Structure 1
């Protein structure tokens, strides 16, 4: 019995000595100093204080100055370069949306100079033309401003050789990859819930494309086909661009080129 007590006492004394040794060592060690924080040079740039929608005019208080890394501020409006920019840009119209905190770039703004919103955001040389749409011809309401669409013309023709026979229907794409400028929308009640349905679409077109669309409106029914956002950089073409420009009829020694419905003759080489 005495031997067991001596063994227990020895173990306790040993554990206490180890604990005392560990405590003394930890008190003698100093904590490692924290690494110094590298301060990046910063400047103040002009940013949107709140979301700014397409076509919205800049009002006093819509823009604020915010600290920004200097290395990434070259394309933005810096306070050191233009301290009065927040006041100078009041009245400008947003050609593209801004989200809250987004730095302002003047390429996305335009001065209206008294013109209407559509005339202000329309690029030089382009035209805005509207046409009627419905849920069936407008991708079910999923087409929104700044989307890209194809315009499809469908025509119903009677067969004069077979009276009473069913009409033949033909469809062709007359415009491709054109930008939607605006959608005239109104709420519509459907199955107890409010949905949004566009009735009129305004497209951004070249002058010759606007003429093609105007003629097509009288020839049949127009439908819009929504394009993928991945096709945004695809070239804009129309039936006039792809077919009429390439149609050539050789007459003798001359070649007739039909462009936008106007024929010109050139000597064959």
Structure 2
């Protein structure tokens, strides 16, 4: 009995040892699967940029500016960020561009001029031109019934008393002549052309864009007579003109009783 029992126990032990080794030599469990988690997108700011090329001297219109995504804390110094100036696009509509802005270029406050601020009128002028104000009637008697607005082109008419004409025909000697052609009106009163808005009609003066020579003509003519503006057709205004009246007469100055007056040699 003891021998048989020992044989059974030995067989069982051998079977257990075999099962143990079979378990060790069996297939291993698969390695854990690693899931790649994408990095979070970088934080971005919205920077104000030019939506298209804006030349020097142009006024900002709707659609000229837009917000552009920019890496946070990487925006150029002094650029305009939406988080700080959310209404900047509307604020700058009607402002003047002091230097050319290329499409996609960040916008800076010091490159724009607000209407009514110092330097605004000077920035409207092309190189070599001057701005001169002339007196007009607020009722529109000298400005085509108040239909002349900033941005229009006009002829300048001088009305004055000519003593030679008075002696020749016995009348009052009043004479009118066009002294300048196709000059641009920069402002009427304090109204300057603004995109999307009609300027307020009326004012006691008109500011014209003139050459230095034309400035001298206007100042002298205004002293010895009255100036009126004649509105030109838009098709005429688009043509390039010198601004000087293309008359065949030679202008010169006559001094009568100590008062200078324009004269002409025919």
Q: Which has the larger radius of gyration?
A: 2
TM-score by length of 2: 0.48
TM-score by length of 1: 0.47
**Which structure shows the higher strand fraction?**
1
